[in-house]
Amino acid sequence: MSVDLKYQLKMMFDSVEIKKEIFDFINKMDNRNNDEIAIRDIYDSELYKKINSDTNMKYITYNLSTDGAPLTKSGKRGFWPLQIILNCLPPKSRFKYSLICGMLTCTEEPNSDLANLYFNNFKEQAALLYNEGISVTDLNEQKIIIKFCPLAIPVDSVCRPIVQNRIKFNGYFGCSWCYHRGEYIKDVSGIRYGLLEIDPEIRSHASHLKDIKIINSKNLNLTKIISERGVKGDITSITKLPHIDMVWSFSYDYMHGLLAGVEQQIFKKWTDSKSISNFKLTNQEIKVINQRLLSIQPTQDIHRQPRSLKEKGNWKSAEIKSWCLIYSLPCLQGILDDTALKHYSLLVKSLYVLLNNNITKEELDQCESDLLEFVGKYEIYYGIENMTFNIHTLLYVVDSVKKSGPLWSNSTFPFESNIFQLKQLLNGPNGMDKQMIRKHLQRLHFKTDTVDYSSDEIRNYCSNLYKYKTLSTHYGFWRR
């Protein structure tokens, strides 16, 4: 199902409040000092600068994402909304407005052919918004044309190879950003990515297109599709999107890759009863760490109270983030082996820096060094059998930040949050996709204040309708 993106964009620009935020933020970005060598937002990324250097037009950029979720607890059917977030709003407002441009429902994970078909309708919308744009009025009520350009596609490690038409992370040449072949480890029956004496070649948009050309020529006379260095073929609805880099537009997703991936993996090595590690914690030590954690009273900006380590497998990504950045080091201090703690602190420090809104070149260089040390020592401390895809991709986090901005600016957190909210809009088994789309547009009407009100009382009611307190009190919503 395709959803009119132009209609939703017009709705946003018809809102006086949102329009003022957009134009004020654009003017602020245009007038700031660009001499400083620092990454503060997506506007400092190499991809954004390349868009402006390749054209004479100032484009409003957006991030595009999709991910799947089950429609019901017991059913097999799932939905994959295609969402975008505009980068022209200040960070405090940017992630409040997730627009939907497509909805796919299916009973199993889509393959690249289905993804190509799904994205095709969006490709046509994206081309119109890029070439023709939309007519809006500026703050002086003058009509202007605004054009839009995709910048980044933050998706998780399962979805990324689908929309790139590549081998998945559990196959040879499965890395999203380099040509490390990987090594099959019999003990774990899987591919692992140890450090090599010679660094593997880095992927690029040009090398990706070259691989597509080679694989297309190889597959002409074959019935069985093969791959070329992990690339299985073209996916024209993505490669034809304006200014999309088929490697680096797919930014590093720290929510799934680092928090749900690396952080959970290393903690399991310390605590799992089946784990074989020199740094394994005893049950008594885990109990003390848990007591420390539960005694912490977080500040108001952290919306969830710490939960027991016994439930860590069910923690939300936001809880894992709080554990990693805030709770973990003081809770582990004096209990976890000093060598392991110092090693783990390299990861915590790097994540903290790369989530900042002002990252200097020196800090980027230090993070690159720290993450290389973390990955190298991880192989020494925990063995080649634990050098998973998630551990390996830490080597390219800094490169991703340089290409597409700080980790927070390309996070999948707001997209995942909106998927959760879309599910809450369902009230029956029939036409679930249409229900979500219709109610999403209704909600956007209220959020953008484009509804005609007959009184101030109704206006105040509607403006408070989607605040957390209202939702939690009357509709049973809770924070993610």
Query: Which tens digits make up the pLDDT trace of 95-140?
Result: 999 999 999 999 999 999 999 999 999 999 999 999 999 999 999 9
Instruction: Give pLDDT, residue 442.
Output: 93
> By percentage, how much of the chain surpasses pLDDT 90?
82
Instruction: Give pLDDT, residue 465.
Output: 67
Residue 223 pLDDT exceeds 60:
no
User: Residues of 401-438 as b/e, b for ≥16 C-beta within 10 angstroms?
Assistant: bbbbbbbbbbbbbbbbbbbebbeeebeeeeebbebbbe
Read off the pLDDT band of 353 (50, 70, 90): very high
User: How is residue 187 written in tokens?
Assistant: 């003990």
The 3-state DSSP class for residue 87 equals coil
pLDDT tens by residue, 355-399: 999 999 999 999 999 999 999 999 999 999 999 999 999 999 999
Mean pLDDT of 433-439: 95
Instruction: Give pLDDT, residue 75.
Output: 84
Read off the pLDDT band of 52 (50, 70, 90): confident
pLDDT tens by residue, 138-167: 999 999 999 999 999 999 999 999 999 999
Helix H or strand E encompassing 105: strand 98-106
Q: Which of 133-137, 318-322, 329-333, 474-478 comes out lowest in average pLDDT?
A: 474-478
Instruction: Give pLDDT, residue 479.
Output: 46
What is the distance, to the nearest Å, from the Cα of residue 112 to the centroid of all Cα atoms in its chain?
Answer: 19
Using CA atoms, how far apart are residues 416 and 252, in angstroms rounded to an integer? Answer: 15
CA-to-CA dists, residue 80 to 59, 107, 110, 139, 419, angstroms: 27, 11, 9, 36, 9
Mean pLDDT of 327-355: 98
Give me the residues paired with residue 39 across strands: 359
Using CA atoms, how far apart are residues 480 and 477, in angstroms rounded to an integer? Answer: 9
Using CA atoms, how far apart are residues 40 and 406, in angstroms rounded to an integer? Answer: 7
Residue 469 pLDDT exceeds 70:
no
Residue 298 pLDDT exceeds 90:
yes
Is the separation of the CB atoms in 169 and 190 below 8 Å? Answer: no
Instruction: Give pLDDT, residue 477.
Output: 46
Instruction: Give pLDDT, residue 274.
Output: 84
Per-residue DSSP letter, 248: T
CA-to-CA dists, residue 223 to 176, 218, 226, angstroms: 26, 11, 9
Is the separation of the CB atoms in 277 and 382 below 8 Å? Answer: yes
Per-residue DSSP letter, 197: S
Q: Which of 52-61, 177-186, 259-268, 431-440 comes out lowest in average pLDDT?
A: 52-61
Read off the pLDDT band of 472 (50, 70, 90): low
Using CA atoms, how far apart are residues 477 and 296, in angstroms rounded to an integer? Answer: 25
Greater model confidence, 30 or 197: 197
The 3-state DSSP class for residue 32 equals coil
Instruction: Give pLDDT, residue 217.
Output: 87
Helix H or strand E encompassing 357: none
Instruction: Give pLDDT, residue 309.
Output: 96
Per-residue DSSP letter, 314: G
Domain limits, the chain: 1-154+427-479, 166-234, 254-404
Using CA atoms, how far apart are residues 389 and 169, in angstroms rounded to an integer? Answer: 6
Mean pLDDT of 175-179: 97
- Give strand ranges (E) for 126-224: 134-137, 143-146, 148-152, 183-185, 190-192
Read off the pLDDT band of 478 (50, 70, 90): very low
Using CA atoms, how far apart are residues 85 and 7, in angstroms rounded to an integer? Answer: 15
Highest mean pLDDT among 42-51, 68-77, 213-222, 471-480: 42-51
